[in-house]
Amino acid sequence: MSKHVVAQADEIAPGRNKLVTVKGREIGVFNVNGEFFAFANKCPHEGAALCMGRVVNLVESDEPGRYRVSRHGEMLRCPWHGWEFDLRTGQSWCDPEHTWVKSYNVTVEPGAEIVQGPYVAETFPVQVEGEYLVVEL
Ligand code: FES
């Protein structure tokens, strides 16, 4: 498994996302209420660019005319046929037993830990500030 720096943590505000390419794969990195999640930009239904879809709330109903809205900004709706996926797990809301979108682990790491390597050469003082989003493939 390899790690790839894809963005600075403060670059993606809550409710927003960024499309990145890692090893030829398009991946959407989402900030869900301060937590980061990453998914393949390919809907498991018929292959749409899933990460171009709208981030929506979960809407549930037990009977006509009554509904509940919850989990604000935690669902991703595919732009082609409207299937919805849980941004926290990748699980399909239309076919939860069989359909998941490919997800990737995202960590937030301090810049100083990312730039360290195994080799030693002549060094100069360098300061890395902020935190970075790292996707594991
Ligand atoms: S391609 Fe995404 S719901 Fe059909």
Q: Is 16 left (phi over 0), alpha (psi -120 to 50) or beta?
A: beta
Task: Using pLDDT thresholds of 50, 70 and 90, give the confidence band for residue 118.
Answer: low
Is 48 a pocket residue for ligand 1 (Cβ < 6 Å)? yes
Query: Which of 45, 56, 101 to probe ligand 1 with, by most ligand atoms within 8 A of CB?
Result: 45
Atom of ligand 1 at shortest distance to CA of 47? Answer: 1
Are the C-beta atoms of residues 131 and 112 closer than 8 Å to each other? Answer: no
**Rounded Cα gap, residues 69 and 39, in angstroms:** 24
**Rounded Cα gap, residues 119 and 107, in angstroms:** 24
Average pLDDT over residues 74-100: 90
pLDDT tens per residue across span 3-35: 889 999 999 999 999 999 999 999 999 999 999
pLDDT tens per residue across span 45-83: 999 999 999 999 999 999 999 999 999 999 999 999 999
Task: Using pLDDT thresholds of 50, 70 and 90, give the confidence band for residue 112.
Answer: low
Atom of ligand 1 at shortest distance to CA of 81? Answer: 3
Atom of ligand 1 at shortest distance to CA of 94? Answer: 3
